[in-house]
Amino acid sequence: MGKDATLVVMAAGMGSRFGGLKQMEPITADGRVLLDFSVYDAKKAGFTKVVFVIKNEIADDFIEIVGKRIEKMIKVEYVYQELDDLPEGFSCPSERTKPWGTAHAILCCKDVVKEPFAVVNADDYYGRTAFKKIYDELTKDNDEYCMVGFRLENTLTENGYVSRGVCEVEGGYLKKVTERTKIIDCKFTEDDGKTWTTLPPDTVVSMNLWGFKPDIFGYIKEGFKNFLKENIEKPKAEYYLPLIVTELIDSDTKKVKVLTAEDKWYGVTYKEDKEKVVKALGEMVSKGYYDL
């Protein structure tokens, strides 16, 4: 019998470029969403529980459309990422409407996750190999963290720019993640397209598939306090997972092993992406790769 590991799914965000709650956008005729495939792959890899991070305002719809179906497949728990869920001594400014970021989303899980866990986006397709790699690494007897990176060329869309965390890897471990917010055709710009810098197609990028041990909660809690001291009055400031990971690496507190997936990543960043995703996953289902 394998070791317990949890899959934490970040599903509280709204799809701004896609134009709606894309976590619930059906991609199969029977109403399956990308999340169904991720949970299927994660369970096959050995994961024993799923924790959904959602917002109260979408809870009823999410549980009805997605959650009840997933609950038939694997143990499920829900946690809620809310703006006023802050450390003692802090209160949310009235003008704040944006979530506090992915690191805050993970901190919301501290009371229900007591075992090694992986973190994924609700609206991404990572593939079975990625989940198997991260499960096997997470369940080793060490205190290291890990991540699964993808080749840049396998994460692009023809329908617009994408934002990716470009990884610097040294000796198999993560050294640095640099956010590039506008990438098209393996080139990025930082000046609204006046100049472009080329990235190698096989560049490893983060798609938010992280692997942590439960001690991460303590680090995030302290880091979040420092973040709030400096940023609480900035309505768009967010505390991102790569930020806390970088802080831990730079301080030699933690090592993060980099695992690389050679499969193609699928996601619906833009509405026009949906047709390609539907076709790709439909072919996998027809070939028997998924028995949903």
Domain ranges of the chain: 6-286
Q: What is the pLDDT of residue 269?
A: 82
Q: Which residue has the higher pLDDT, 154 or 30?
A: 154
Contact 177, 242 (CB under 8 A): yes
Q: Is the pLDDT of residue 6 over 50?
A: yes
Average pLDDT over all residues of the chain? 91
pLDDT reading at 227 higher than 60: yes
Distance spanning both ends of the chain, measured CA to CA:
24
Please give the helix or strand (H or E) that residue 206 lies within, else none: strand 204-212
- Nearest CA to 248 among 103, 43, 111, 86? 103
**Cα-based distances in Å from 132 to 28, 49, 85, 216:** 24, 15, 33, 21
Residue 152, pLDDT > 60, answer yes
Rounded to two decimals, what is the model's pTM?
A: 0.92
- Tell me: domain 6-286, CATH 3.90.550.10, correct? yes
Using a pLDDT cut of 70, give the percent of the chain over it. Answer: 95
pLDDT at 16: 41
Q: Regarding predicted confidence, which is higher, 66 or 126?
A: 126
Higher pLDDT, 168 or 268: 168
